[in-house]
Copies of this chain bind each other. A is one copy, B any other.
Amino acid sequence: MRHLATTVGGLVLLLILLATLGLSLRWLQIQLFYEPLGGERSAEKLAYLDRVRETFSGPTREADAERPPNVVIVLFDDLGWGDLSSYGNQLIRTPRIDQAAAEGLRMTNFYSASPVCTPSRAALLTGRYPVRSHTHNFVFFAESSPIATLRRMLGQGNELPVDEILIPEVLRAAGYATGMIGKWHLGGIPGHLPNDFGFESYYGVLTSNDMQPLHLYRDREIEIRDETERLVLGAFRDEDADIEMKGVDQRTLTRRYTDEAIRFIEENRDRPFFLYLAHTFPHVPHFADPEHAGESEGGIYGDVVEDLDRSTGALLDAIDRLGLAGDTLVLITSDNGADYNGSPGFLRGRKGDVQEGGQRVPMIARWPGHIRAGGVTGKMAMNIDLFPTLLGLAGVALPSDREIDGRDMSSLFIDPDSASSPHAELFYFPVLRGGRPVAVRNDRYKYHVSTGDTGRDKPILVDVHRDQENHNLIRLLPLEGAALAKSLASFGAELDENPRGWR
């Protein structure tokens, strides 16, 4: 008996010691020699941007009648498919966003490329599924958080590779003024900040507002330092705004962003501009503008969303006041589906899930004179489509050295009734180990390898339009299931072979 006890106890201790030693060595290695991911295609990227720069002589509004449109992307953080009144919310009132929808196109089958922040934002800006930019494992953490180091230890990285090509880099090369305001979430080390990826100006926070520290940056400098006491993991999750913060007053963030956005537009009114306004809210924790707090019937979450609605209204008013409405494509969307306290509408799943509620998000496109007022389309598209669409509108050819998964969706904007979806199929990647897609949909059906529910570790085929991912049709429609399963397997194998999509 004593001998057995010694063996059991000894083995346990040995394993703990070995693991600790291995992790310590890896930690030391990262601290001393860490090389941020992704310099492989830097040369090709620079050559491409040079070519774009050569082609464009910086068109100005006065000189060139064919000037490309200004583009404003308003990206909300964790806003769910059902959080806007135009998408069915009965408690929260969003009259200004609804008005933009009435003046333009409202899409009911638009997707973020991931059910969480970092990969979705990488996809939006690069036009590629998250695995291409090595952002397919959950989200990035603040540099000082131990999780940032842990991510690097696990080979997941904590910053966007420098050889990725982003919309602002291309549009800047094509003569656009480029500005970003708000949440970046694609890296916090020099060389990986917004100003390093084509944004001429930046104002905002580098991470989600539940992460610490939450410094407010202007370009590369901290404008307001966050001195809040640190939690162990450097992140908290609570919808209530009871945290004593010693940094930027989060209640002022939406207003600050809005003022900066309007200033950016005013300053750049005479040349094509690209503004990426990536709001901090309605991500938890919630901080509402004190001037309107308590007004929404949707509680503090509603207050926060209604702040965003007022912000969007102010932005649109500025565009209209400057006479830029007909020259400016405004896109309003979200980075992923509703978190626990937002509304996915009638969709199944939430933030973090590959079910529809995790990735289907509002998308409103307003461009008076180009996009017909009052249109609604259920044709599917994804935020990876913005890269080719915006480059197309600017008259820039896509880079040829890499796979761009997105497709030009401008015809859907212009003629939603006749144009088809730019995709035959869209793929869904899980939050963890997201290197391979686990679901795929076409216009009518969605195939899941497994939803992970009890009793559902098996293939599932669902009707996307007539059912909310409840009833499994795989036995009824084996051919439809097999076709989608084949696409999924084949794209998975392609990604295993060449995850970054180099050509």
Residue ranges of A at the interface with B (Cβ–Cβ < 8 Å) = 1-2, 4-10, 12-13, 80, 82, 89-92, 237-240, 284, 294, 296-302, 338-346, 451, 453-456, 458, 463, 466-468, 470-476
**Is the beta-carbon distance between B455 and A301 smaller than 8 angstroms?**
no
Chain B residues positioned under 8 Å from A6 (CB to CB): 2, 5-6, 9
Known: A2-B10, A5-B8, A297-B476. 16 other contacts (CB 8 A): A1-B10, A5-B6, A5-B13, A8-B13, A9-B12, A91-B463, A92-B471, A239-B456, A284-B455, A300-B472, A300-B475, A340-B454, A342-B470, A343-B468, A346-B346, A346-B468
In the assembly, what is the distance between CA of A472 and CA of B238, in Å? 12
In the assembly, what is the distance between CA of A216 and CA of B465, in Å? 40
**Is the beta-carbon distance between B340 and A299 smaller than 8 angstroms?**
no
Shortest distance between the CB of A462 and any CB in chain B (Å): 9
Chain B residues positioned under 8 Å from A453 (CB to CB): 340
Sample 17 A-B pairs with CB under 8 A, ordered by A number: A1-B13, A5-B6, A5-B9, A5-B10, A7-B9, A8-B8, A8-B12, A80-B470, A91-B467, A237-B454, A284-B455, A297-B463, A299-B473, A302-B471, A340-B456, A341-B455, A343-B471
Chain B residues positioned under 8 Å from A302 (CB to CB): 471
Q: Closest B residue to A463 by CB, please name it.
A: B91
Chain B residues positioned under 8 Å from A2 (CB to CB): 6, 10
In the assembly, what is the distance between CA of A437 and CA of B340, in Å? 22
Shortest distance between the CB of A419 and any CB in chain B (Å): 26
In the assembly, what is the distance between CA of A238 and CA of B456, in Å? 7
**A4 partner, pick from B9, B89, B238, B338, beta carbons under 8 A:** B9
Shortest distance between the CB of A454 and any CB in chain B (Å): 6
In the assembly, what is the distance between CA of A455 and CA of B241, in Å? 12
Chain B residues positioned under 8 Å from A473 (CB to CB): 297-299
Q: In this complex, which of A7, A300, A342, A451 has the most chain B Cβ atoms within 10 angstroms of its Cβ?
A: A300
Q: Closest B residue to A456 by CB, please name it.
A: B340
**Is the beta-carbon distance between A239 and B455 smaller than 8 angstroms?**
yes
Contacts A238-B455, A346-B346: A299 and B7 contacting too (C-beta < 8 A)?
no
**Is the beta-carbon distance between B455 and A299 smaller than 8 angstroms?**
no
Shortest distance between the CB of A378 and any CB in chain B (Å): 14
Chain B residues positioned under 8 Å from A471 (CB to CB): 91-92, 298-299, 301-302, 341-343
Chain B residues positioned under 8 Å from A341 (CB to CB): 455-456, 470-472
Shortest distance between the CB of A449 and any CB in chain B (Å): 16
In the assembly, what is the distance between CA of A458 and CA of B242, in Å? 13
